Structure 1
């Protein structure tokens, strides 16, 4: 789930629509509502946040510090104008990237994907042959499995990205749902996740020859 923070509703709704067209959940906040939400949000909800985009708002250099104190999602500042002084100030405040508007959501997803690949790159000594059988990009591209592209429906691809991002950790169905469909989506039943994962595991097993997703009743799923 992507979060857009901007005092202009036209900006938040525009980017939210752009992410929706890519099959990615997103929500827009004005600065005051965002401050209230992130200050009291549950850890499970914060874990569903893929990135936070900060646009035009007062004290925007204070928001990255608040975000970093509560969750590990990358923070991207979106500037209306090009200003070296402003850019340096934002990086000093803790943002992970700065872009100039207008910027396409696909570029934002690619930047977040690069951030995730760097953050979750395995240590060389820990790599095994199986590690190289699956390549996930986190930016809207389909994964490469056993040397070939595996075309997946958007929801299945997003679930795979979330599981890989949390490799080695046990995640609940509710956490996966929040990451893929959004924390505030009440129009879809959470049980749909089980159907998506079942189809995804079957495809991975058919291509890899083994099931990389471990599931335990009541405990959840883990990309092992």
Structure 2
């Protein structure tokens, strides 16, 4: 993956660029919106990581200019402005996803991978998900493991669907709060822990090798590896 990082804060830019390169990806960095726009329009990238507030040219204006000229490269927008209204403005300007600062690199990486998968899949709609012997039928709203039906509550179903769509990847608590509970803030409750525990009991207990893993300090992972 080749990424254009447009970020004017040196510490954040170094942190993100170093992490991406260590993960085997190519990174070009621009510290101003003007330089970022030049690179984005003269080079080819798989994804853009774009800060919202930039010198020279604001991140939103840069994004609107790219979209108006036909550029469809996936864009992950970064910002210290984490309020819902600010996020909505960024998404409506053409961003594909929005990550508030401060953030964990593992979450940035997971969101980038999600953007690329979405782009690769195109308009195709999945109706069945499968991880090992765990199967989900999205049309029938049913789940089976090893051929045996599992009785899930609506929120458990939604949680499992998100985990299955991100199989073999670390999913952070922030990602789950936003995608499953529609929270754009941390409610400071154990709601995730409770639901993950219940879901783990239903899909893993006495049903073979465990599939739902807790990754200490990072989040959760559904898959055959821990």
Indicate the structure with greater helix content: 1
TM value normalised by structure 2: 0.47
Larger radius of gyration: 2
